[in-house]
Amino acid sequence: MHKSRLTLYIIIALVLGVATGYVYNVKVIDDLNKKISVADANIKTIDAHVAGLKDTTAKEYKQLKSQRASLAQLRTDKNTERDNKLEGFTILSDIFLRLIKMIVGPLVFTTLVVGVAKVGDIKAVGRIGGKTLLLFITATFVSLLLGMVLVNLFEPGGSIHLSLPEGHLSVDVKKTAISFKDFIGHVFPRSFTEAMANNEILQIVVFSLFFGAATAAIGEKGEIIIKFLDAVAHVIMKITGYVMKVAPIAVFGAITAVVAKEGLGIISTYASFISEFYFSLLLLWLLIVAGSFSVLKGRAFTLLNNIKDAVLVAFSTSTSEAAYPRSLEELENFGCSNKIVSFVLPLGYSFNLVGSMMYMTFASLFLAQAYGIHLGFGQQLSMLLMLMLMSKGMAGVPRAALVVVAGAIGMFNIPEAGLALLLGIDPLLDMGRSATNVLGNVMATAVVSKWENQLGDGIPVANNDL
């Protein structure tokens, strides 16, 4: 109920932000926008003239360059003046983003260590664990790759044309490339405390993997560490819940600033982004069901029908964890072994969030497109692999995908301010990806049960009323 109210408050804040932003755009910002547009148009005209001059020593060339410098300075001054007028709104979302970033490092460390330590039971579970992890890794990669392909096909951010923040204005787009050496530097930590202090997420992930594996390896002595970190993870998740309480205020400030700055035209882009993302989720659903059908045959559709309530719960509450009890019940009623369900399903909540995976590539590349930052195939693949690692252990965290995106885009020099574009519509997107996460986890559990020959006939639907 609380999460439903939060979603309602965020939607109200979104509507109020749009209305306030429109009024502010017309009454306060419009004159500055016109001056900026005129300056941009004149700069483009001068650039065209300069490109046609072959003699760079000519007097005309120097005059044009001087005029261009003056216009560029005017544009910068007006941009600064506009940003100052919007500062009261942007500071609201800035506080929220800082609070979100505050919890990223500790959250990744605690949840991932606990998850890996539990995977350490793979020696007891044997081949079940190996098959499960292989299935999860494959599903994660496919969902990320599908998101990458579709966002490049649709280009939802291509029509926004946001200007880079002042600190990014002089950055050459080519410098957004991350070399293999840079990538390795982002992966392996010199110091765990340094990685935590600098929010180097991948380095925290690597240390967490080692720490979790070592904790599992020492047996009973590691149990106290697992219990302690599990408790810490729950504390941090509680903090996340507190932070999310200010989300409506942040949404209001972010959307007001965006609409005031860009005008109502930005709303059409939102509609396009939401529809294209949900179409992409539909394709992912078809892939999941098709993959499940190849193993479960016709029973895949029976399971799909049985879990509709669990999927609707996840959709309406924007959290896949809310559907966990019903999902577990339906899987056992379907005929899955309790041993398989108790291992695979909770593990899936950390390692198989396919809906969130698709959103991460979709959202990250959307922001790059909005700022006109071109990322080549190699860079996009690097981002995909980073997101694949960074996302592990984020189960049950409200708006976890947004947290991971915030940690990833900075590595590719994409301004974090662009998250304001996503913050307002994130609740609508979170509903779809949460429902998709449930579908992916349930189907994966049933598939592993079938592989292990531990899938029975189950309870007939007619007797499954409770």
For range 355-367, the mean pLDDT? 89
Answer yes or no: is 280 within a domain. yes
* pLDDT at res. 289: 95
Amino acid identity, position 54: K
Answer yes or no: is 343 within a domain. yes
Answer yes or no: is 272 within a domain. yes
For range 319-332, the mean pLDDT? 78
* pLDDT at res. 188: 83
Parent domain of 261: 93-463
Indicate if the pLDDT at residue 185 is higher than 80.
no
* pLDDT at res. 234: 81
Indicate if the pLDDT at residue 53 is higher than 80.
no
Answer yes or no: is 36 within a domain. no
For range 91-111, the mean pLDDT? 79
Indicate if the pLDDT at residue 389 is higher than 80.
no
**What CATH number is given to the structural domain containing 139?**
1.10.3860.10
Answer yes or no: is 24 within a domain. no
Please give the tally of structural domains in the chain: 1
Lowest pLDDT segment from 30-39, 117-126, 158-167, 290-299: 117-126
* pLDDT at res. 304: 93
Indicate if the pLDDT at residue 207 is higher than 50.
yes
Indicate if the pLDDT at residue 124 is higher than 70.
no
Q: How confident is the model at residue 150 (pLDDT cuts 50, 70, 90)?
A: very high
Q: How confident is the model at residue 168 (pLDDT cuts 50, 70, 90)?
A: very low
In the chain, % of residues over pLDDT 70:
80
Answer yes or no: is 18 within a domain. no
Indicate if the pLDDT at residue 366 is higher than 80.
yes
d(CA 402, CA 200): 16
* pLDDT at res. 224: 92
Asked if residues 375 and 411 have their Cβ atoms less than 8 Å apart, the reply is no
Lowest pLDDT segment from 168-172, 250-254, 397-401: 168-172
Lowest pLDDT segment from 27-41, 64-78, 169-183, 368-382: 169-183
Indicate if the pLDDT at residue 375 is higher than 50.
yes
How would you write the chain as a 3-class SS string?
Answer: CHHHHHHHHHHHHHHHHHHHHHHHHHHHHHHHHHHHHHHHHHHHHHHHHHHHCCCCCCHHHHHHHHHHHHHHHHHHHHHHHHHHHHHHHHHHHHHHHHHHHHHHHHHHHHHHHHHHHHHCCHHHHCHHHHHHHHHHHHHHHHHHHHHHHHHHHHCCCCCCCCCCCHHHCCCCHHHHCCCHHHHHHHHCCCCHHHHHHCCCHHHHHHHHHHHHHHHHHCHHHHHHHHHHHHHHHHHHHHHHHHHHCCHHHHHHHHHHHHHHHHCCHHHHHHHHHHHHHHHHHHHHHHHHHHHHHHHHCCHHHHHHHHCHHHHHHHHHHCCHHHHHHHHHHHHHHHCECHHHHHHHHHHHHHHCCHHHHHHHHHHHHHHHHHCCCCCCHHHHHHHHHHHHHHCCCCCCCCCHHHHHHHHHHHHHCCCHHHHHHHHCCHHHHHHHHHHHHHHHHHHHHHHHHHHCCCECCCCCHHHCCC
For range 246-272, the mean pLDDT? 78
Could you tell me which residue, 68 or 423, shows the higher pLDDT?
68
Lowest pLDDT segment from 74-78, 133-137, 159-163: 159-163
Could you tell me which residue, 466 or 230, shows the higher pLDDT?
230
Answer yes or no: is 285 within a domain. yes
Lowest pLDDT segment from 161-175, 234-248, 337-351, 401-415: 161-175
Indicate if the pLDDT at residue 267 is higher than 70.
no
Strand partners, 248: none
* pLDDT at res. 15: 86
Indicate if the pLDDT at residue 424 is higher than 80.
no
* pLDDT at res. 370: 85
Could you tell me which residue, 458 or 407, shows the higher pLDDT?
407
For range 115-124, the mean pLDDT? 62
What does the radius of gyration of the chain's CA atoms come to, in whole angstroms?
25
For range 82-86, the mean pLDDT? 81
For residue 400, give the nearest of 344, 436, 368, 357 by alpha carbon: 357
For range 37-51, the mean pLDDT? 78
Q: What are phi and psi of 336, to 5 degrees?
A: -75, 145
* pLDDT at res. 321: 67
Answer yes or no: is 77 within a domain. no
For range 234-256, the mean pLDDT? 81
For residue 206, give the nearest of 23, 358, 27, 392 by alpha carbon: 392
Indicate if the pLDDT at residue 291 is higher than 80.
yes
